[in-house]
Amino acid sequence: MDDPTPVALAAETAAAALLRDGHTTLVEQLAQRYAERIRSRLLQPGARLPSVRECARRYRVSPTTVVAAYDRLLAQGLVEARRQRGFYVRERRDAAPPAVVGAASRPTPIDATALIRSMFHRGDGRADPGIGTLPADWVDVPLLHGALRRAIAGGSSFGAYGDPAGDPALRAALAQRLADLGVAADAGRIVTTTGATQALDLVSRALLQPGDTVLVDEPGWAVEFARLAQLGMRVLPVARGPQGPDLEQMRRLLQEHRPRLYVTVSVLHNPTGYSLALATAHQLLKLADAHDLTIVEDDSYAWLAPPHAPRLAALDGLQRTVYVSGFSKILAPDWRVGFVAAPAALVGRLVDLKLLTSLSTPSLPERAVAVCLGQGLLRRHAERVVERLAAARSRTCALAEAAGCRFAAPPQGLFGWVDVGVDTQRLAEAMLDQGWLTAPGALFHATRRPSPLMRVNFATSQDAAFWRAVAALRRGLAGSAKM
């Protein structure tokens, strides 16, 4: 049997080591470390803790110390012991998720907090490879300041609520932007929202009732799985491949379960980077028409993609599609301006739901985005970001391959779908000991399963130290698996 290499062991234990200062026992430190991760949801319900032997090696303590620490976690109700299988994070009794219908018939990993947390910087100067947005130093602050100044100078009734459907100037600019993408939608068919996430939520609430079935891409966006499950929906995953969804699987699911909605990212899919092929798009729309299915097209990465990429909303003229997008992926993470372009019959319901959930429209940021669009500032900014991202992607790919990893999908857009060769949930925990927050593949499946894949952000994965840690840890984990 192969043991982990000395380099792997040294890298893994350097940051993981517990303090031996006598003030707090090793048992207390180890138990507290895992308790904090469980309570903060960096370890999800159902996640397996390292084996006693692996944990002892990682933290350079005796197996007796690990057993004592795990016993404390058991006593606190944070973990459970499964005979001959190890220790697992307990499911929360107050948030039992609804069942996912499908071949696996397992519960939805409704707690996507671990992934959400990786979207925020911790202020220590280190970018996180699992982050879902562009890094802070890529934000064009002068552009944003200038747009805000122009929006204020343009005059505003800041003492009153904004237009419930959204700022008129922004909706007019969005109509022109959609026309550039081939989507015919005048300002009257557009409703602005607080980011694309609220847009998806409004559409779901307008078109679904608890218990309805929804199709989602798998792998796909973990927060969307969790959001739909929290609304009481039955989530059915459809395998996503290079050309788009598996149409045969979708046809079977449509016949057997009669879903109401299909939520998909057609261009620069998260996490794979795939874009929908034109032939698949035509077949998908035929299926939607035959089975009375509404397709929600999430185009959050539109500014990072070629404008000629096929959009379902352009192909069917917003008849069976609802188009959703936003600006946080291209301008700044906290510029929560999004929108929905929808069939005319749906717009009134969306506005009513928006009034009930957010009351008003934040006029100033919406007018600032309108300035960015109308004066061509956003287009030029996006061109610079795309060029910079291409260079970052090239560097990240070279580092990943040198670390012994391979890409499971052709590198495109913001994210890379990387095959590490070991369970990335275990890797993520070990990386956390070294201060790296990652996005393991299990987070992108509607049904929980081990995965050798992880999503990396090309813009924030250019640090060679990160890939050295990945290389060392993957060797260590592969070696421990052979024991």
Torsion angle of C-alpha atoms 305, 321, 257, 279, degrees rounded to 10: -50
Give Cα separations from 465 to 11, 16, 20, 255, 278 (angstroms): 11, 16, 27, 50, 40
- Taking 3-state DSSP, the helix, strand and coil percentages for the chain, each rounded to the nearest 5, stand at 45, 15, 40
Q: Phi/psi at 460 (nearest 5 deg)?
A: -115, 10
The DSSP bridge partners found for residue 238 are: 217
Q: How far apart are CA 340 and CA 175, in angstroms?
A: 11
CA neighbor of 342 nearest in space, from 161, 175, 110: 175
Identify whether the C-beta of residue 229 lies closer than 8 Å to the C-beta of residue 98. yes
Question: Does this model's pTM top 0.85?
Answer: no
pLDDT at res. 432 = 84
pLDDT at res. 4 = 41
pLDDT at res. 361 = 80
Q: How far apart are CA 465 and CA 460, in angstroms?
A: 12
Q: Phi/psi at 190 (nearest 5 deg)?
A: -120, 135
CA neighbor of 325 nearest in space, from 198, 470, 449: 198
Give Cα separations from 232 to 208, 297, 408, 422 (angstroms): 10, 21, 33, 34
Identify whether the C-beta of residue 201 lies closer than 8 Å to the C-beta of residue 233. no
pLDDT at res. 112 = 57
Q: Phi/psi at 400 (nearest 5 deg)?
A: -65, -45
pLDDT at res. 146 = 95
**Helix H or strand E encompassing 87:** strand 86-89
Q: How far apart are CA 414 and CA 324, in angstroms?
A: 18
What single-letter amino acid sits at 449?
R
What single-letter amino acid sits at 201?
D
Torsion angle of C-alpha atoms 135, 366, 164, 212, degrees rounded to 10: -30
Give the model confidence (pLDDT) of 148-166 as tens digits: 999 988 765 666 777 899 9
pLDDT at res. 414 = 97
Under-50 pLDDT residues of the chain: 1-15, 94-111, 118, 121, 123, 483
Q: How far apart are CA 164 and CA 167, in angstroms?
A: 8
Computed from CA positions of residues 446, 451, 453, 457, in that sequence, does the dihedral angle turn out positive or negative? Answer: positive
Identify whether the C-beta of residue 30 lies closer than 8 Å to the C-beta of residue 66. yes
| CA 189 to the chain's CA centroid | 27
Q: How far apart are CA 450 and CA 427, in angstroms?
A: 11
Q: What domains does the chain contain, in order, with CATH numbers?
A: 1-95 (1.10.10.10), 136-378 (3.40.640.10)
